[in-house]
Amino acid sequence: MSILLADSGSTKTEWVLLKDNLKVEPYYTEGLNPYFKTYQELVEVIDKKVALYFIKNSVEKIYFYGAGCGTEENRNRIKEVLKNSFEGAEIEVGSDLLCAAIACFGHESGLACILGTGSNSCLYDGGKIIDQIPSLGFTLGDEGSGGYFGKRIIRSYFYNEMPEDLKVVLREKYDMSLAAIREKVYNESNSNRFVASFSILLGEYKDHLFIQNLVREGFTEFVDKQLGYFGDLSSQKIGFVGSIASIHQEILTEVLGKKGLQPDIIIQKPMERLVEAHKLKVRKSI
């Protein structure tokens, strides 16, 4: 049996083929968030890049998990494009949050959180999401995410709150004129990805005091607002997926500890555990 798995964020999509329950090397395309991609742009990527790459393999089933796939309308849009490119394949589309929950807990229950380009969290019962915080997206929500930290970094640069050594780093990486930043943010597509790209400083300068304080503030806001939404979590396992959570897990653990909580699992990328969960699913169906 040939199964294609996809983990799609706003920035990048990872595709992995399971052929006779053996993993084939991953393939990468740009992110396929239906909030930021037109129908035709989705077709261009899936038809001309994904379908052509996997054309030698008879794909029988596709599990696509993606950012922006929390609504039925967006799931159906992705499903339609995939059906047009992979005729005859059985297709299931779920949210990136469901992907995170499966990766963290498999068939057990828990509270799953994403701290990537965006952020989100949900209660998972071992098979499905039973409650989740309303996703307000890049403009109104996404506390503790790459987009959130990107905005904070840009603001601190122009408000003169950032140390000079980090300002120099930004000027080496970007055109930091106000006109250039405004153009990228307000007049060009994929502004969320552009803003989130500034969060690269969180990894490259993770030991810088300014960055550590920024991360601590962002994680505190995430815990207060997003985890606070669920009330008493003392009996829940808590899992995190995403590079920001992984890189700064010591600060994340510290912030959670102040609320009497602790992370049970922190995963940088969900695909490996997603593959294992689907392998188990196949074995159980045989």
Write the pLDDT tens digit of every residue in 193-242.
889 899 999 999 999 999 999 999 999 999 999 999 999 898 899 999 99
How many C-beta atoms lie closer than 10 Å to residue 88's C-beta?
A: 8
How many C-beta atoms lie closer than 10 Å to residue 90's C-beta?
A: 12
Angle at 106 between CA 265 and CA 258, to 5 degrees: 25
How many C-beta atoms lie closer than 10 Å to residue 267's C-beta?
A: 20
What is d(CA 123, CA 113) in angstroms, rounded to the nearest whole number?
9
Task: Report pTM.
Answer: 0.85
Confidence of residue 68 (pLDDT cuts 50, 70, 90): confident
Q: Is residue 284's pLDDT more than 60? A: no
At residue 277, the pLDDT reads 84
Mean pLDDT of 261-278: 90
% of the chain surpassing 70 pLDDT: 94
Closest CA to 127 of 145, 144, 105, 147: 105
Residue 258 CA: distances (Å) to CA of 200, 224, 251, 262, 279? 27, 11, 11, 9, 38
At residue 267, the pLDDT reads 94
